[in-house]
Amino acid sequence: MATEGFQKRAQLLPYGRQWITDEDVAAVVEQLRGDWLTQGPTIARFEAALCELTGAKYCVAVASGTAALHLAALAANMGAGDTGLTSDNTFVASANGMRYAGARPMLVDVDPRTGLIDTRSLAARAELLAKKGTPPKLIVPVDFSGAVADLAEVRRIADRYGAKVVEDAAHSLGATYTVDGQTYRAASCAHTDMAILSFHPVKHLTTGEGGAITTNDKALYDKLCELRTHGITREASKLTHNDGPWYYEQVELGYHYRITDLQCALGLAQVKRFPQFLARRREIAARYDAAFATDEWKSKLRPLAVPAGVTSAYHLYVVNLVRRDGESLESVAARRKALFVALRELNIGPQVHYIPVHKQPDFQRNGLSEGSFEGSDEYYAGCISLPMFPKMSDDDVDYVVSALRETLR
Ligand SMILES: Cc1ncc(COP(=O)(O)O)c(C=O)c1O
């Protein structure tokens, strides 16, 4: 690809990265000097802040988004012999949560324009499962890139089979969607039973590693709290007897999936800047959108479409190479690979989100890749995630656009 003479930047511009300030550092140091490193009150304060941000009634903060998916699957009573449905275009964790619970995830094709679960394929898959005598017990729609999946439609499909819905909102904290003229927040659980969040450093706010489950259902909340700590309870009504003030009982097999107060101190400091983070992500997306809206790009690349009524939180900014008339997907994929390599040479660190889960050898080996994934395969061939994080400058965005212009000449 032709990039000779292009003024290469000195430092790598990654696709995503955290933004840590002196205030964040001070908050963690203060926590370190205090009484609680873990199992203290900062966790509940962080959970309350997440309820405030999402509008959900309850929140259980845990060790990672993956732990959140596992616990949500368990709280949905998923186990051996059960089947669930999730998107083929996601991080493997969305499906693995069900697998950890002993259940089988079935993958669903996506709309190649949005990368979001295709609700017609979802309905067809669910019906197929029901006909086989194993109706879906859980559906995990993924808010890919920060745009909310069609949760109202997913809810309708789930209700046909009495399935629970867990929104994978790892990408969408701060996003909104509209149903019948009313606006809802991602992870508010207005149309779902639970939602999960992730606080990995590339996400909207970070705790290093960390995650959370939100819900409006008190029974699910209680179950999730129990499962987070070994299945242990101190609640009087659940104990067989009481030996004294120290007494607890393990009432089911749970896990050690706790988050620490140190992490939550960082999370709380980050929450304060969340509005700024979100606004900046949207500004960056608007700058990319404006650049790519000109005729020059029409035959070259297309930004991911955001569904009507959705305001994305832009965890990612994805573009797809435009498929030429009669071009094979292999050829699109080869052009994408060349673009990826060329951008790396110009000190840009793009990423590909995601390798379709059905292509993962472990899913294939375990018979979890059945079905047709035309939308997902088409999407994957040409997708590339450009740098998107709040600390990026306008000049950084312009550099990426110039580098693309140079490489796609
Ligand atoms: C869509 C999605 N779901 C779940 C996860 C898992 O989150 P974590 O890395 O916090 O375990 C991720 C993480 O990248 C993700 O992107």
Cβ within 8 Å of residue 345, ≥6 positions away: 3, 8
Indicate whether 4 belongs to any domain. no
- For ligand 1, is residue 320 a contact (CB within 6 Å)? no
Q: What is the CATH number of the domain that holds 311?
A: 3.90.1150.10
pLDDT at 186: 98
SS3 126: helix
Tokens of 409: 């000449």
Find the 83 Cα to ligand 1 centroid distance in Å: 21
For 65, 87, 282, the CA distances from 400, given in Å and listed in that order, are 30, 29, 16
Q: Is the pLDDT of residue 14 over 60?
A: yes
- For ligand 1, is residue 198 a contact (CB within 6 Å)? yes
Q: Is the pLDDT of residue 173 over 70?
A: yes
**H/E run at residue 164:** strand 164-168
Indicate whether 308 belongs to any domain. yes
Same domain, 317 and 208: no
- pLDDT single digits (tens) 198-229: 999 999 999 999 999 999 999 999 999 999 99
Among 64, 91, 257, name the best residue to mutate to test ligand 1's pocket (greatest count of ligand atoms within 8 A of Cβ): 91
Same domain, 177 and 109: yes
Q: Looking at the chain, how many residues does it have?
A: 409
Same domain, 191 and 279: no
Ligand 1 nearest-atom number relative to CA 200 = 10
Indicate whether 127 belongs to any domain. yes
Cβ atoms 126, 154 nearer than 8 A: no
Mean pLDDT over all residues of the chain?
97
Find the 151 Cα to ligand 1 centroid distance in Å: 19
pLDDT at 1: 64
- pLDDT single digits (tens) 229-284: 999 999 999 999 999 999 999 999 999 999 999 999 999 999 999 999 999 999 99
| pLDDT band of 4, cuts 50, 70, 90 | confident
| DSSP states along 270-329 | HHHTHHHHHHHHHHHHHHHHHHHTSGGGTTTEEEPP--TT-B---S-EEEEEPPPTT--H
- Compute the distance between CA of residue 105 and CA of residue 393 in angstroms, rounded to an integer: 40
Average pLDDT over residues 193-197: 98
Domain residues for the domain of 262 are: 22-272
Atom 8, ligand 1: which residue's CA is nearest? 65
Indicate whether 17 belongs to any domain. no
Same domain, 400 and 355: yes
Q: Is the pLDDT of residue 115 over 80?
A: yes
Last residue in a domain, options 223, 238, 272: 272
Same domain, 307 and 295: yes
Indicate whether 347 belongs to any domain. yes
Indicate whether 5 belongs to any domain. no
| pLDDT band of 94, cuts 50, 70, 90 | very high
pLDDT at 105: 98
Q: Is the pLDDT of residue 2 over 80?
A: no
Find the 11 Cα to ligand 1 centroid distance in Å: 27
Q: How many domains does the chain have?
A: 2
Per DSSP, 60 falls in state E
Last residue in a domain, options 272, 293, 320: 272
Among 70, 148, 198, 206, name the best residue to mutate to test ligand 1's pocket (greatest count of ligand atoms within 8 A of Cβ): 198
Same domain, 207 and 304: no
Same domain, 286 and 151: no
Cβ atoms 202, 389 nearer than 8 A: yes
- For ligand 1, is residue 200 a contact (CB within 6 Å)? yes
Last residue in a domain, options 272, 307, 326: 272
Strand-pair category, 383-386 with 211-215: unpaired
Same domain, 233 and 308: no
pLDDT at 409: 87
Atom 10, ligand 1: which residue's CA is nearest? 65
- pLDDT single digits (tens) 176-191: 999 999 999 999 999 9
CA angle 111, 371, 114 (to 5 degrees): 10
Indicate whether 13 belongs to any domain. no
- pLDDT single digits (tens) 274-298: 999 999 999 999 999 999 999 999 9
Q: What is the CATH number of the domain that holds 67?
A: 3.40.640.10
- Compute the distance between CA of residue 29 and CA of residue 262 in angstroms, rounded to an integer: 8
Burial class for 303, CB neighbours closer than 10 Å (0-12, 13-18, 19+): middle
Q: Can you list the alpha helix ranges (DSSP code H) found in 243-273?
A: 261-272
Indicate whether 149 belongs to any domain. yes
Cross-strand partners of 317? 386
Same domain, 101 and 224: yes
Tokens of 232: 């242990």
In this structure, what is the dihedral angle of CA atoms 1, 8, 385, 146, given to the nearest 10 degrees?
-160
Give the predicted TM-score (pTM) of the model: 0.98
Same domain, 303 and 314: yes
Average pLDDT over residues 397-409: 96
Same domain, 285 and 223: no
- Compute the distance between CA of residue 74 and CA of residue 138 in angstroms, rounded to an integer: 10
Same domain, 353 and 213: no
Find the 143 Cα to ligand 1 centroid distance in Å: 11
